[in-house]
Amino acid sequence: MSDAFIVNGHIIDPANNIDEVGDLHITNGKIDKISRNEKLADDQTTDVYDAIGLVVAPGLIDMHVHLREPGFEHKETIKTGTAAAAAGGFTSVACMANTSPVIDTPEKIEQIYDIADKTAKTNVFPFGSITKDLAGKELTDMRGMYSAGAVGFTDDGVTVMNAALMRDALILSAELGFPILVHCEEHNLNAGAVMNLGETSRKLGLIGSPNAAEDIIVARDIMLAEMTGGHLHVLHASTAGAVALIRQAKKRGVRVTAEACPHHWILTDTEVEKQGTNAKMHPPLRTQTDIDAIIEGLCDGTIDAIATDHAPHAPSEKAQGMLDAPNGIIGLETCLPLVLTYLVQPGHLTLAGAIAKMTVVPARILGIDRGTLSVGAVGDVTVIDVDTVNRVGITTSRSKSQNTPFAGWELKGWQTVTFRNGNRIGGHPSSRSKSA
């Protein structure tokens, strides 16, 4: 718990409608006050950061991260994944349950908290799985895991194909209030697919997954949320159809929220031809029509949150070729610059609107007390330079893995420094690190 004084910054806190130049005080790790031109007493040991010309935002929250520990430590660990998060401007991450073993008991939720206490740079909020061992056969002890600190439940990576199990999970969600986060790909329509179904898959002779594989499950799960009153959260929405279904459901008052990842609103499936397995993920990259619909969904509030689906895989695994390589790309260190370059600069979202989708909105979905600069809140802060231009440098990544399609891309707008509880925990390696 530390004291920090971040001076002269453009403070943007969407939760409180704050958008003004000022000085942010963090005392004993908590937001203390916002003031103007205040002098600190000489004997202060406070960390002073001159944020003139920079944006001071609540610490960013990534609600969709694969930290891979336990079981896949060759891809990532809680230590390396959260170091990448801190470098990317995130102070909190929610981690997926598809580890080995799967996070499917209260004890395993406690283990994640224990490892995070010892090794994590950022706050770590674990999800538990919906079904035991992600097998889709039997529900887990969600009640017990929720008491142990799980922030929601998900079988991310696979779809719960049994609609009755999904119904039962959503009934418990309605009772206890946690979100059920769904990976939407109908397994039979998706069988053997390694990319989107379309012109490129036909050209490359690869099996493709149709948009319908996603849309069918989104529609089913919306119906189940409507029937039960549970809170459904659609993970990594990638199709125009999913956006339309979520929009209609929201209009009817269904408790549904959704997120989208940068790759799904920047890259099309043609990227597979250029980048091979670094463009292979589930759900797959789609078409420009889908990108346009997702951006529209982000603009009109249909898509609530921005998340990365940071999915590290070792170089040797990604080198196996399109048929055998695992799905997913890393995203923690590139998310904010991609948001600023592709959503804020073209005018799709305001800066405050984009920050909201990475702070207060995911905090509300997960029910965590983060994502604001309210007085008394945890002193988690991200400082952003919206004007700086940098290239995505893969050798400087803090992640154990390097599977990104954005390597070498020139992006405008980067995080400079990240504070957690008032302590500096990271930032972009080439950022100006100014102390007054």
In degrees to the nearest 10, what's the CA dihedral of 351, 355, 360, 363?
Answer: 160
Structure tokens at 429: 């390696």
Q: Which of residues 50-79 bind ligand DOR (CB under 6 A)?
A: 66
Burial of 167: CB neighbours in 10 Å, binned 0-12, 13-18, 19+: middle
| Interface residue with ligand DOR, options 98, 190, 275, 278 (CB under 6 A) | 98
Residues labelled catalytic: 309
- Structure-token match 């100014």, residue found: 434
Nearer to ligand DOR, 48 or 322 (CB): 322
| Interface residue with ligand DOR, options 326, 379, 405, 426 (CB under 6 A) | 326
- Tell whether residue 233 is a contact of ligand DOR (CB under 6 A): no
How many positions of this chain bind ligand DOR (CB under 6 A)?
12
Q: Which stretch binds ligand DOR (CB under 6 A): 222-230, 325-333, 393-401, 423-431?
A: 325-333
| Interface residue with ligand DOR, options 89, 198, 328, 422 (CB under 6 A) | 328
Residue 341: enclosing H or E segment and its boundaries? none
Half-sphere exposure (Cβ direction) of 378: Cα atoms closer than 13 Å = 19
Residue 125: enclosing H or E segment and its boundaries? strand 123-126
Nearer to ligand DOR, 307 or 336 (CB): 307
- Tell whether residue 196 is a contact of ligand DOR (CB under 6 A): no
CA–CA distance from 206 to each of 158, 191, 199, 211, 281 (Å)?
Answer: 21, 12, 10, 16, 14
| Interface residue with ligand DOR, options 157, 230, 379, 426 (CB under 6 A) | 157
Nearer to ligand DOR, 328 or 413 (CB): 328
- Tell whether residue 275 is a contact of ligand DOR (CB under 6 A): no
- Structure-token match 């493709």, residue found: 208
Closest CA to 51 of 18, 21, 31: 21
Nearer to ligand DOR, 278 or 372 (CB): 278
Nearer to ligand DOR, 58 or 328 (CB): 328
- Cα–Cα distance, 244 to 262 (Å, whole number): 19
Q: With the C-alpha atoms ordered 373, 9, 353, 58, is the resulting torsion angle positive or negative?
A: negative
Q: Which of residues 283-312 bind ligand DOR (CB under 6 A)?
A: 309, 311
Nearer to ligand DOR, 259 or 309 (CB): 309
Q: Which residue is nearest to ligand DOR (CB)?
A: 328
CB 267 within 8 A of CB 208: no
C-alpha 109: how far from chain center: 19
Least separation in angstroms between residue 134's CB and ligand DOR is 10
| Interface residue with ligand DOR, options 13, 76, 156, 333 (CB under 6 A) | 156
Residues that bind ligand DOR (CB under 6 A): 66, 98, 156-157, 183, 281-282, 309, 311, 326-328
